[in-house]
Amino acid sequence: MIEIEQLTKTYKTKYGTVTGVDNVSLTVGEGEIFGIVGYSGAGKSSLIRCINLLERPTSGVIRIGGTDLTKLGSGQLRKSRLKIGMIFQHFYLISQKTVYDNVAFALRAAGTPAKKIRPRVEELLEMVGLADKRDVFPGQLSGGQKQRVGIARALANDPTVLLCDEATSALDPNTTLSILRLLKEINRKLNITIVLITHEMNVVKEICDRMAIMQGGRVIEEGAVYDVFASPQTELTREFISSVVSFDVPEQVLASVRGTLVRVLFKGDVAGEGVIADMLQRHAVKGNFLHGAIEYIQERPLGIFIMELTGERGAVTDALEYLQSRRAAVEVMNHGR
């Protein structure tokens, strides 16, 4: 659906040339929700604005549905952009127009016949849960309601792609969750491909299928959300994940450990099984749980536990081998003293 090949975007400043996006290649499948994560300045906003050519790339290729947007003339590009909806952090609603007219504006701008505008707007407002707000002005709406108007407006011309530029950053946690669930519902109902950028891993964890981590204009890690959470490959990814799933053990607790300190990770269904209890029954070791939890990512359990094992060295080794035989990933953090 979306193919980005060796995309680079540079900017001329009074201090010289700055690279916002540095040779990025990504593929987003049809109907997928793809998250792009990074701190401010990572290049994610530049990247998403290049996807619909709000900013023209310095070099590289952007294909949507097989069409290279960078090769289109202005007329063809305007037509292609009708199939790329976009929602923003700050809503950008027209304060002097009602909710109805804000959504209708996108249809009128696209040349939609007048007789088709009203039923389409009413359909969209019903979809985003604002049918009772059609004659209200933006100033009378909450932040979440304003974003729902923005989503309805972005969907007005029946796009195949929806780009979300920090769409929930200005919202409180509960409202964020409701907007994410709405986006997921729209994705499943319309099979619309969604690309969202964010600096919040909770957003990605909640609705994304796959994700990429950006730093310094480059993609430094990419994969299925579950796999990235289960086995982060870079320090930055681990830092982002720790903001959602924290398994840090206080230093004073670690200082008191005399046995073998291990981190045990269970993926999928095995996370819900009593593997550790079985291990303790089968082997002459004792276990002291220091930290742990089971998280659900894409409705799949991911169990991470930190524990101290005490016993004879051979018994501890056998216990760890048993855990590995039960499809657990085991990391020895330090051996017994």
Look up the CATH number of the domain holding residue 287: 3.30.70.260
Look up the CATH number of the domain holding residue 184: 3.40.50.300
Same domain, 188 and 54: yes
Tell whether 202 is covered by a domain: yes
Same domain, 78 and 213: yes
Same domain, 183 and 270: no
Q: Which residues pair with 221 in a beta bridge?
A: 213
Q: Which residues pair with 9 in a beta bridge?
A: 21
- For residue 4, pLDDT over 60 is answered with yes
| Rounded-to-integer distance, Cα 27 and Cα 30, Å | 10
Q: What is the pLDDT of residue 272?
A: 59
Same domain, 229 and 258: no
Q: What is the pLDDT of residue 336?
A: 58
For the chain, how many structural domains are there in total?
A: 2
Same domain, 272 and 176: no
The tens digit of pLDDT for each residue in 182-233 reads: 999 999 999 999 999 999 899 999 999 999 999 999 999 999 999 999 889 9
Final residue before a domain boundary, out of 217, 238, 259: 238
Mean per-residue pLDDT over the chain, rounded: 90
Domain of residue 288, residue span: 251-334
Final residue before a domain boundary, out of 238, 272, 297: 238
Where is average pLDDT lowest: 121-135, 217-231, 240-254, 295-309?
A: 240-254
Whether the model pTM is above 0.85: yes
Final residue before a domain boundary, out of 238, 259, 286: 238
- For residue 334, pLDDT over 80 is answered with no
Radius of gyration of the chain (CA): 24
Q: What is the pLDDT of residue 217?
A: 95
Tell whether 313 is covered by a domain: yes
To the nearest 10°, the Cα dihedral for 298, 300, 304, 310?
Answer: 180
Tell whether 246 is covered by a domain: no
| Rounded-to-integer distance, Cα 337 and Cα 326, Å | 27
Same domain, 221 and 262: no
Compare 293 and 193 and report the one with higher pLDDT.
Answer: 193
Position 247 confidence tier, pLDDT thresholds 50, 70, 90 = low
Same domain, 181 and 277: no
